[in-house]
Amino acid sequence: MKTYLVTGAAGFIGANYIKYLLKNYPDVKIVVLDLLTYAGNLGTIAKDIDNDRCTFHRGNIGDRALVDSLFAEYKFDVVVNFAAESHVDRSIENPQLFLETNILGTQNLLDSARKAWVTGKDEQGYPTWREGVRYHQVSTDEVYGSLGDEGYFTEDTPLCPHSPYSASKTSADLFVMAYHDTFHMPVTITRCSNNYGPYHFPEKLIPLIIKNILEGKKLPVYGDGSNVRDWLYVEDHCKAIEMVVRNGRVGQVYNVGGHNEKKNIEIVRLTISTIHRLMTETPEYRKVLKKKELGADGQLSIDWINDSLITYVKDRLGHDQRYAIDPTKIKEELGWYPETTFEVGIVKTIEWYLNNQAWVEEVTSGDYQHYYERMYTGR
Residues in the site for ligand NAD, rule: CB under 6 A? 7-8, 10-14, 33-37, 39-40, 60-62, 82-86, 101, 105, 138, 140, 169, 192, 194-195, 201
Catalytic residue list contains 141? yes
Q: How far is the CB of 89 from ligand NAD (least distance, A)?
A: 12
- Enumerate residues 80-119 that contact ligand TYD by CB under 6 A: 88
For ligand TYD, the closer of residues 30 and 208 by Cβ is 208
Q: Report the Cα 71 to chain-centroid distance in Å.
A: 24
Catalytic residue among 34, 77, 85, 141: 141
For ligand NAD, the closer of residues 62 and 161 by Cβ is 62
d(CA 142, CA 162) in angstroms, rounded, equals 8
Q: How far is CA 195 from CA 13, 238, 288, 369, in A?
A: 8, 10, 25, 27
Q: Which residues contact 142 (CB under 8 A, 6 or more apart)?
A: 88, 161, 163, 165, 166, 169, 320, 323
For ligand NAD, the closer of residues 28 and 39 by Cβ is 39
Binding mask 189-228 for ligand TYD (x = CB under 6 A): -----x---------xx--x-----------xxx----x-
Q: Report the Cα 267 to chain-centroid distance in Å.
A: 19
Q: How far is the CB of 111 from ligand TYD (least distance, A)?
A: 28
- Enumerate residues 144-173 that contact ligand TYD by CB under 6 A: none
Catalytic residue among 34, 48, 77, 142: 142
For ligand TYD, the closer of residues 48 and 326 by Cβ is 326
Q: 229 touches which of ligand TYD, ligand NAD, none (CB within 5 to 8 A by kind)?
A: ligand TYD
Other Cβ atoms less than 10 A from the Cβ of 342: the count is 22
Q: Report the Cα 348 to chain-centroid distance in Å.
A: 17
d(CA 85, CA 103) in angstroms, rounded, equals 10
Is 134 among the residues that bind ligand TYD (CB under 6 A)? no
Q: 195 touches which of ligand NAD, ligand TYD, none (CB within 5 to 8 A by kind)?
A: ligand NAD
The residue among 140, 163, 148, 143 whose CA lies nearest residue 322 is 148
Catalytic residue list contains 131? no
Q: Based on the number of CB atoms within 10 Å of its own CB, is 31 exposed (0-12), middle (13-18) or buried (19 or more)? A: buried
Q: 108 touches which of ligand NAD, ligand TYD, none (CB within 5 to 8 A by kind)?
A: none
The string over 261-295, giving b where at least 16 C-beta atoms fall within 10 Å of a residue's C-beta and e elsewhere, is: bbbbbebbbbbbebbbebbeeeeebbeebeeeeee
Give me the residues that bind ligand TYD (CB under 6 A), please: 88, 194, 204-205, 208, 220-222, 227, 229, 264, 316
The residues annotated as belonging to the active site are 141-142, 165
